[in-house]
Amino acid sequence: MENVIIDASALVMRRAGREIVEKVIERCLKVFVNDKLLDEYREAALETGFSPMIIMDIRLKPLEERGKLDRVEDDTLLHAAPDYEEDSHIVNLAKTFNALVVTAEKRILEKLAKKYEFNAIHYKEFLST
What are the tens digits of pLDDT across the range 8-32?
Answer: 999 999 899 999 999 999 999 999 9
Q: Where do the DSSP E strands lie in the chain?
A: 3-6, 30-33, 69-71, 100-103, 120-122
CB atoms within 10 A of CB 1: 11
Q: Which pLDDT score is estimated for 61? A: 94
91 Cβ contact partners less than 8 Å away, ≥ 6 residues apart:
80, 81, 85, 112, 116, 118
Each domain of the chain, given as residue ranges in start order, spans: 3-128
129 three-class SS:
coil
- Phi then psi for residue 49, to 5 deg, are 90, 5
88 three-class SS:
helix
pTM confidence score: 0.94
The dihedral formed by the CA atoms of 71, 19, 105 and 70, expressed in degrees to the nearest 10: 10
Beta bridge partners of 6: 102
Residue 46 pLDDT exceeds 90:
yes
Cβ contact 57:19 at 8 Å: no
What are the tens digits of pLDDT across the range 75-115?
Answer: 999 999 999 999 999 999 999 999 999 999 999 999 999 99
Domain 3-128: what homologous superfamily? 5'-nuclease (3.40.50.1010)
- Phi then psi for residue 105, to 5 deg, are -90, 120
